[in-house]
Chain A
Amino acid sequence: KAGVTQTPRYLIKTRGQQVTLSCSPISGHRSVSWYQQTPGQGLQFLFEYFSETQRNKGNFPGRFSGRQFSNSRSEMNVSTLELGDSALYLCASSHGTRRTDTQYFGPGTRLTVL
């Protein structure tokens, strides 16, 4: 079974631009979660999508948004980029319905904002 894939792997943007990151979950998984990893703040939960609906959201400004498609693929968008948005963005997929759920991570997208 193929793992979680994320595209692109690396991105360089300038302040004020917007960016879209993509995540394809493991086949059969309906939940996709996004996390931001920075040296200062560590790993922080952004949001979770399940069956095309945002089910849970972390404490991030509205510039961070996402969506999920009917095939469970998810995209994350960051508008009006700031220098502090430079980070590794990780997505994780899981079934989303089982009490014994386990999240499996993709390789991440490294975003650099100049």
Chain B
Amino acid sequence: AQTVTQSQPEMSVQEAETVTLSCTYDTSESDYYLFWYKQPPSRQMILVIRQEAYKQQNATENRFSVNFQKAAKSFSLKISDSQLGDAAMYFCAQFQLNNAGNMLTFGGGTRLMVKP
């Protein structure tokens, strides 16, 4: 069974500064994908960034980047130049597509507050 753990229930960051959200996961599969989703107060789940497990290079999307440590099963999200609009719940998720179908396993989430 897959498990995803986010050890920081809440984080805060000053506007324009950098913050890192932590995530660890556990799986016996060798082929999987990892995601960070953002859920603002509107509750719409928005894809932030994706990492394929077979790629050693860390994914980057504008101000968002990840630090993927496969051996340690760690997948942290770094947000640079934080903006007020970044305030939201952030969920780390692991995805597998296999013969049983596909599904996402989510962590418990980290609430990010951005201070002006």
A interface residues with partner B (beta carbon < 8 Å):
31, 33, 35, 42-43, 45, 48, 50, 55-56, 58, 88, 90, 92, 94, 96, 98-108, 110
Are A42 and B95 in touch, CB under 8 angstroms? no
Contact status A33-B103, CB under 8 Å: yes
When A102-B47, A107-B43 are in contact, do A58 and B97 touch as well, CB less than 8 Å? Answer: no
Indicate if the CB atoms of B101 and A55 lie closer than 8 Å.
Answer: yes
Closest to B44 in A: A107
- B42: min CB distance to chain A, Å: 7
* Nearest B residue to A46, CB-CB: B103
Are B104 and A103 interface neighbours, CB within 8 A?
yes
CA gap between A55 and B98 in the complex, in Å: 10
State the Cβ distance, B39 to closest chain A Cβ, in Å.
9
The contact sample of 15 A-B pairs, CB cut-off 8 A, is: A31-B101, A31-B102, A33-B102, A48-B101, A56-B103, A88-B43, A99-B31, A99-B97, A102-B35, A102-B47, A103-B95, A103-B104, A105-B37, A105-B44, A110-B43
What total of A-B pairs shows CB separation below 8 Å?
A: 67
**Smallest CB separation, A25 vs chain B (Å):** 13
Expressed in whole angstroms, the minimum distance between the Cβ of A1 and any Cβ of chain B is 14
Tell me the smallest distance from the CB of B23 to a CB of chain A, in Å.
14
Contact in complex: A58, B103 (CB < 8 Å):
yes
Looking at the complex, which one of B43, B52, B104, B109 makes contact with A33 (CB distance below 8 Å)? B104
Apart from A43-B106, A103-B102, A107-B44: 7 A-B pairs, beta carbons within 8 A: A50-B101, A56-B102, A96-B102, A99-B97, A102-B47, A107-B43, A110-B43
Closest residue of chain B to A105, judged by CB?
A: B45
Q: Can you name the residue of chain A whose Cβ is closest to the Cβ of B108?
A: A42
B64 contacts A by Cβ under 8 Å:
no
Q: How many angstroms between the C-alpha atoms of A50 and B108 in the bound complex?
A: 27
Q: Are A48 and B44 in contact (CB under 8 A)?
A: no
Q: Chain A residues with Cβ under 8 A from B33's Cβ?
A: 100-102
